[in-house]
């Protein structure tokens, strides 16, 4: 579907029917209506709930936060509005794992990511860039290319070795 302020009732009914059929196939209880989907879609305020990308006038998909394969519920409360890229990348990954991946990649914390991290007591780390100047890294005399003239570590002689 394309994200718009006004969503066609027939398109929502088709989407709900497809989600319900998929849930039945996975033997997940629950039934979603077009009204459930409309409410969830508009609640995202036009942004992917995983990465925060704008969805206005773009394709979006509804993702089961805890996948049906992992015994997630087939309910509006377990749905997230996602850009196609996030929905494909997540697949059936555990939501805490995917939230940590998104945070590591972007450094952003959407409401969904914050909620998942709080629920699973997760505080993921963010990978620092390998190359380029880093604030507070203790590098002195950085060159114009962003490479330190002197490495931030010190080699010391190992006990028992006398290499000079």
Q: Are 55 and 47 in contact (CB under 8 A)?
A: yes
47 CB contacts (<8 Å, ≥6 apart)? Answer: 53, 54, 55, 81, 110
User: Between the CA of residue 103 and those of 38, 122, 127, 132, 161, what are the distances in Å?
Assistant: 27, 11, 10, 21, 45
Class of domain 9-90: mainly alpha
- Please compute the mean of the pLDDT values over residues 44-49 and round it to a whole number: 95
Convert the pLDDT of each residue in 1-16 to its tens digit.
888 888 899 999 999 9
Q: Which of 19, 82, 91 is nearest to 46 (CA)?
A: 82
pLDDT for position 127: 60
Q: What is the pLDDT, as a whole number, of residue 124?
A: 73
The larger pLDDT score, comparing residue 139 to residue 114, is at 114
pTM of the full structure: 0.73
Going by pLDDT thresholds of 50, 70 and 90, the confidence category of residue 136 is very low
Closest CA to 7 of 28, 34, 29, 30: 34
Mean pLDDT of 117-123: 89
Residue 134: pLDDT above 80? no
- pLDDT of 29 over the 50 cut: yes
DSSP string, 26-95: TT------HHHHHHHHHHTTTB-TTT--B-BTSB-EEEESS-GGGT---SGGGEEEE-HHHHHHHTT--H
Of 110, 90, 95, residue with least CA distance to 43: 110
pLDDT over threshold 60, residue 154: no
Please give the residue that has the higher pLDDT: either 149 or 111: 111
């Amino acid at each position: 579907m394309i994200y718009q302020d006004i969503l066609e009732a027939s398109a929502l009914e088709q989407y709900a029917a497809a989600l319900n059929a998929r849930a039945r196939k996975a033997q997940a209880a629950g039934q979603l209506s077009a009204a459930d989907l409309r409410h969830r879609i508009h609640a995202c305020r036009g942004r992917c709930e995983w990465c925060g990308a704008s969805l206005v006038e773009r394709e979006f998909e509804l993702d089961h936060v805890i996948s049906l394969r992992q015994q997630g519920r087939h309910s509006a409360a377990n749905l997230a509005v996602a850009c196609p890229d996030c929905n494909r990348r997540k697949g059936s990954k555990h939501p805490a794992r995917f939230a940590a991946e998104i945070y590591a990649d972007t450094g952003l914390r959407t409401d969904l990511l914050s909620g998942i991290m709080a629920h699973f007591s997760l505080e993921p780390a963010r990978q620092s860039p390998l190359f380029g100047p880093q604030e507070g890294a203790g590098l002195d005399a950085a060159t114009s290319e962003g490479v330190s003239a002197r490495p931030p570590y010190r080699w010391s002689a190992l006990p028992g070795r006398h290499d000079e």
